[in-house]
Chain A
Amino acid sequence: MKVKIHLYTRFERFWHWFQAFLIIFLLLSGFEVHGSLKLFGYARACYWHNLAGWTLLILTAFAIFWHLTTGQWRHYQPTFGNLEKIVHYYLYGILKGEPHPFHKSPERKLNPLQALSYLFLKVVLLPLQFVSGILYYYYNDWINWGLTTRLDGVAMLHTAVAFVLLIFLVVHIYLTTTGGSLLAYTLAMITGWEEVEENV
């Protein structure tokens, strides 16, 4: 028996889609600044990349506030017990048409693999990108801060993490097609409502 449950609040959906837009835009403009593609023109790519970066930082500040005040941060607490089942499902069970071993509920929205990978995104990847990005932005002031003036380390870190984020994005988008229908998970993130098997 399938039921519809309300999983994603309005702010959460706004945050998700705005963040998605910013990250995709940052990747495109960033790889143009890096010299890998030509899209907006270097000057515009650079200007908008900085603007989008600051915007993402502000959005993240709001999201952190939201996570802390609503207690939603608990969804990202990693649990390792059932991780293997989830990995097994995506590598094998899904091909056999087995049901998803995880039951979503408003109390626990994310399966163990999601919780772990989103936590990694939030506490490792994005902070690395913020710190290296802000340092990169303020390169001119490094002299005054008593730092080295060699830019390569920071630039390389920023580029390397960008590649990880790009791969993360590709996998993330692919996994949105593994719901009841190809667009089911995407629609859930738009409407907030998701159809799940009734928990027995």
Chain B
Amino acid sequence: MDCLVCHDTTGSYRKFPTACGDPVYKERKFGKKVFPAVDLRKVARKVGKTSRTTCGRCHFYGGGGDGVKHGDLDSSLFKAGKELDVHMDVKGLNYSCSTCHVARTHQISGRYYSRPAAGKHQFALPADDGWRLACESCHSRAPHKNIEILNHHTAKVACQTCHIPRYARGGVFTKMWWDWSTAGKFTAAGKPIVKKDKAGNVIYHSKKGDMRWAENVVPEYFWYNGRMSYLHEGDKVKPSARPLELNSLQGDYADKNARIFPFKVMRGKQPYDPVEQSLLIPYLFGKKGTGAYWADYDWVKACRVGMEEAGLPFSGKVDFIETAMYWPITHMIAPKEKALSCAVCHRRNNGRLENLRGFYLPGRDRWSFIDRSGWVLLGLTVLALLLHAGLRFVNSKRRQDGGKS
């Protein structure tokens, strides 16, 4: 991390993709893209506050391209409209990233490993201690003015859950699936294959394998108290029916700090050592003959170099394991009219919380014993009353007829 990458205000400060973080000193080509030399004197004279541009240059392109990693952070936010994000709307509030991600002495508030981003969900204003990251910091825990019942959700439902109805809404696709196991296929002539879908997303690449993309994605919902635990390199893992979780979410229904929170779940297949039972770290980028996968296309060689570099054991066997990683969705806040409506979750079937079980959700759940006995008793009562009414009717007729004769 250098100073200028955050504090440049000219927009001309660029790093070269393969120069290990160095800026572009001399004009260079990367594929067909030309990177002009950076005028460092000019940039140095124009340092200033961070901006959406400086943050977005890296964070909107995480995972190797626009929108690849997060789903709620991509280049569409540079010029966000109100529909995309009410706070970043360039014609409205026009917040920069640091309006919420407040920094004190270069400590930028944000989720970092096990530290919860949302803090204690406390109201920070008007005292404003500088840690303004949670929605509640400004909006309080009872922000709905007209409909009180909405405020009654805040102990168990995160603001993001209703107010980000879908992510990747700005026209940029995000990567949902990345299967490394299919990488390394070539045409009959031995040329690399690159397949794209209609929207121009790469769905197969000889270097990377199969990929799937999506936009306007409905998040998946889980209990989350702001903390995650992470799988570390070298950790022993066993294949199971469920994909291997690269990070796992902490918190459940009983946890008073946990809420239902929206996530992008990035799924895929990654190289795995079935003997050592650990994920493999392949060496990807390098020159031919070095073992680099993107030059030699040999997983065993690439993993041997990679694992040796990492100082971890490698059995020489490469398998692939399905993995899942959870990315909290917290940007792209829609206008309030576009927030989710009640019945999206409060419904018997096919609600957004269909798969989140283990707690009572009104409208979805019932105790079938109560419902069944209730309706049966009602039915028996009605039957009994009908019988009673019938007997009353027949008997009164009989009495009337008897009276006449």
Interface, chain A (partner B; CB < 8 A): 33-36, 41-43, 46-47, 50, 94-97, 137-143, 149-152, 155-156, 159-160, 162-163, 166-167, 170-171, 174, 177-178
A130 to chain B minimum Cβ distance, whole angstroms, is 18
Task: Evaluate contact between B152 and A163: CB separation under 8 angstroms.
Answer: no
Tell yes or no: B185 within 8 A of A by CB.
Answer: no
Task: Evaluate contact between B381 and A140: CB separation under 8 angstroms.
Answer: no
By DSSP majority rule, is chain A's interface helix, strand, loop, or mixed? helix
Task: Evaluate contact between A174 and B391: CB separation under 8 angstroms.
Answer: no
Given contacts A140-B156, A163-B370, 18 further A-B contacts (CB under 8 A): A33-B346, A35-B362, A47-B147, A94-B392, A139-B152, A140-B151, A140-B154, A143-B155, A149-B253, A150-B360, A152-B367, A155-B360, A156-B367, A159-B367, A159-B371, A163-B374, A174-B385, A174-B388
The residues of B that contact A96 with a CB separation of less than 8 Å are 395
Task: Evaluate contact between B342 and A43: CB separation under 8 angstroms.
Answer: yes
A160 contacts which of B346, B359, B370 (Cβ < 8 Å)?
B370
Task: Evaluate contact between B396 and A97: CB separation under 8 angstroms.
Answer: yes
Task: Evaluate contact between A34 and B362: CB separation under 8 angstroms.
Answer: yes
- Give the 9 A-B CB pairs with smallest separation, nearest first: A163-B374, A152-B360, A42-B343, A140-B152, A43-B342, A151-B360, A140-B155, A35-B348, A35-B363
Tell yes or no: B378 within 8 A of A by CB.
Answer: yes
- Supposing A36-B371, A139-B152 touch, asked if A151 and B359 sit within 8 A by C-beta, the answer is yes
Task: Evaluate contact between A97 and B147: CB separation under 8 angstroms.
Answer: no
B385 contacts which of A35, A46, A139, A171 (Cβ < 8 Å)?
A171
The residues of A that contact B156 with a CB separation of less than 8 Å are 140, 149
- Chain B's interface size range is 35 or more
Tell yes or no: B399 within 8 A of A by CB.
Answer: yes
The residues of A that contact B147 with a CB separation of less than 8 Å are 47
The residues of A that contact B151 with a CB separation of less than 8 Å are 140
- Count of CB-CB pairs between chains A and B under 8 Å: 104
Q: Which of B348-405 contact A (CB under 8 A)?
A: 348, 359-360, 362-367, 370-371, 373-375, 377-378, 381-382, 385, 388-389, 391-392, 395-396, 399
Task: Evaluate contact between B370 and A156: CB separation under 8 angstroms.
Answer: yes
The residues of B that contact A171 with a CB separation of less than 8 Å are 381, 385
The residues of A that contact B342 with a CB separation of less than 8 Å are 42-43, 46
Task: Evaluate contact between A170 and B363: CB separation under 8 angstroms.
Answer: no
A31 to chain B minimum Cβ distance, whole angstroms, is 10
The residues of B that contact A151 with a CB separation of less than 8 Å are 359-360, 362
Task: Evaluate contact between A149 and B363: CB separation under 8 angstroms.
Answer: no
Tell yes or no: B315 within 8 A of A by CB.
Answer: no
Task: Evaluate contact between A35 and B364: CB separation under 8 angstroms.
Answer: yes
Task: Evaluate contact between B256 and A43: CB separation under 8 angstroms.
Answer: no
Task: Evaluate contact between A138 and B152: CB separation under 8 angstroms.
Answer: yes
B388 to chain A minimum Cβ distance, whole angstroms, is 8
* Distance between Cα atoms of A162 and B367 in the complex (Å): 14
* Distance between Cα atoms of A162 and B374 in the complex (Å): 9
Quick one: CB contact mask for B250-263 with A, threshold 8 Å, 1 for yes? Answer: 00011010000000
A-B contact pairs, 10 of them (CB 8 A): A42-B341, A140-B151, A140-B156, A151-B360, A159-B367, A163-B377, A167-B381, A171-B385, A174-B388, A178-B392
Task: Evaluate contact between A149 and B378: CB separation under 8 angstroms.
Answer: no
* Distance between Cα atoms of A105 and B128 in the complex (Å): 70
B389 contacts which of A142, A149, A166, A174 (Cβ < 8 Å)?
A174
Chain B CB within 10 Å, residue with most, of A35, A141, A162: A35
Task: Evaluate contact between B149 and A50: CB separation under 8 angstroms.
Answer: yes
Chain B CB within 10 Å, residue with most, of A41, A97, A162: A97
B267 to chain A minimum Cβ distance, whole angstroms, is 31
The residues of A that contact B154 with a CB separation of less than 8 Å are 140
Task: Evaluate contact between A35 and B347: CB separation under 8 angstroms.
Answer: yes
A155 contacts which of B256, B362, B378 (Cβ < 8 Å)?
B362
Chain B CB within 10 Å, residue with most, of A137, A138, A156: A156
Task: Evaluate contact between A95 and B395: CB separation under 8 angstroms.
Answer: yes
Task: Evaluate contact between B377 and A167: CB separation under 8 angstroms.
Answer: yes
Q: Which residue of chain B is the closest to A156 with respect to CB atoms?
A: B367
A88 to chain B minimum Cβ distance, whole angstroms, is 14
Task: Evaluate contact between A43 and B341: CB separation under 8 angstroms.
Answer: yes
A97 contacts which of B375, B385, B395 (Cβ < 8 Å)?
B395
- Supposing A95-B392, A143-B256 touch, asked if A150 and B359 sit within 8 A by C-beta, the answer is yes
* Distance between Cα atoms of A95 and B151 in the complex (Å): 56
B389 to chain A minimum Cβ distance, whole angstroms, is 7
A95 contacts which of B366, B374, B385, B391 (Cβ < 8 Å)?
B391
Task: Evaluate contact between B378 and A34: CB separation under 8 angstroms.
Answer: no
Quick one: CB contact mask for B323-342 with A, threshold 8 Å, 1 for yes? Answer: 00000000000000000011
A141 to chain B minimum Cβ distance, whole angstroms, is 8
The residues of A that contact B396 with a CB separation of less than 8 Å are 97
Tell yes or no: B153 within 8 A of A by CB.
Answer: yes
The residues of B that contact A137 with a CB separation of less than 8 Å are 149, 152
A29 to chain B minimum Cβ distance, whole angstroms, is 12
B255 to chain A minimum Cβ distance, whole angstroms, is 9
The residues of B that contact A143 with a CB separation of less than 8 Å are 155, 256
B366 contacts which of A34, A42, A170 (Cβ < 8 Å)?
A34
Q: Which residue of chain A is the closest to B382 with respect to CB atoms?
A: A170
A28 to chain B minimum Cβ distance, whole angstroms, is 14
B270 to chain A minimum Cβ distance, whole angstroms, is 37
Q: Which residue of chain A is the closest to B361 with respect to CB atoms?
A: A151
- Supposing A34-B366, A35-B364, A149-B156 touch, asked if A47 and B149 sit within 8 A by C-beta, the answer is yes
* Distance between Cα atoms of A170 and B346 in the complex (Å): 28
